[in-house]
Amino acid sequence: MIKHVGRHNNRKVVILFRKVPEEDHMCLVTYPDALPVHIHDDIMQALESDSGQQAKEFSDYLFRYTLRDGNNALQTLHSESMIKKVPTNQVIVTPNAHSTVRLDELNAILDKMAVGEEAIREMADLDRNAGMSGKRRTNETRDVGELRAPPRSAQPAQVQGTPNAADFLSDDQIAMQRKAQAMKMAAEAKQLLAESERLMAEAAELSGEKKNAPRKKAKVKTA
């Protein structure tokens, strides 16, 4: 099946942006049947090309694609008002000949998969640099982005090796997500435990437990 295509109100659409920045519930599409013939043919040729199919967002490829008249493809669609903003829950994506999925549901699946892969990479980095050695790392030595929550992004990266939505809910991928979540929770629990021990030690010092500890009686020297 061809990626980046779907239907909106029973009309075929090419999905340019799966999400609009700051408006995750909206997407940007173009209607192939409304395009002039020369633009339609170039856009569909770009869509069906290897580069177009491998693009995480089709707009990324169109931004670099030149039409036969020498104009930029994405800029032409924009300047000619051929790009429309529509709700993601109204766009139906057809991952294969036997199933369909709403674009908002597909976006949610891709978001979860992106978070899972990020967690796996961060855990692997933690194990290589600190987790297995037992050394505590400070803010100065911690790698940028280590154990951080993935930033909110309007256009999450599509996972490599998932050419269509039929593969998104496979048992292996669900297992990968569960494993990533478990590893992330384990790392957070380890950090919380270390922080708890540090705070308990500080509390003991502040409460005077060490100062109030019974002193040993001094021995009196006899002549």
Q: What is the pLDDT of residues 90-103, one digit of tens each?
A: 999 976 667 789 99
Using an 8 Å Cβ cutoff, are 82 and 43 in contact?
A: no
* CA–CA distances in Å: residue 177 to residues 64, 102, 159: 34, 21, 13
Q: How far apart are CA 148 and CA 37, in angstroms?
A: 48
What pLDDT does residue 155 have? 44
* CA–CA distances in Å: residue 117 to residues 132, 133, 175, 200, 201: 20, 23, 12, 35, 37
Max avg pLDDT among 6-10, 133-137, 163-167, 210-214: 6-10
* CA–CA distances in Å: residue 48 to residues 2, 44, 95, 121: 7, 6, 15, 32
Q: How far apart are CA 27 and CA 84, in angstroms?
A: 8
What pLDDT does residue 198 have? 75
Max avg pLDDT among 20-24, 61-65, 112-116, 152-156: 61-65
Q: How far apart are CA 156 and CA 67, in angstroms?
A: 27
Per-residue pLDDT tens over the stretch 55-75: 989 999 999 999 999 999 999
Max avg pLDDT among 69-78, 144-153, 212-221: 69-78
The pTM assigned to this predicted structure is 0.53
3-state DSSP helix/strand/coil % of the chain, to nearest 5: 45, 15, 40
Q: Which of 137, 152, 143 is nearest to 191 (CA)?
A: 137
Count of beta carbons in the 10 Å neighbourhood of residue 169:
10
What is the widest separation between alpha-carbon atoms in the chain? 117
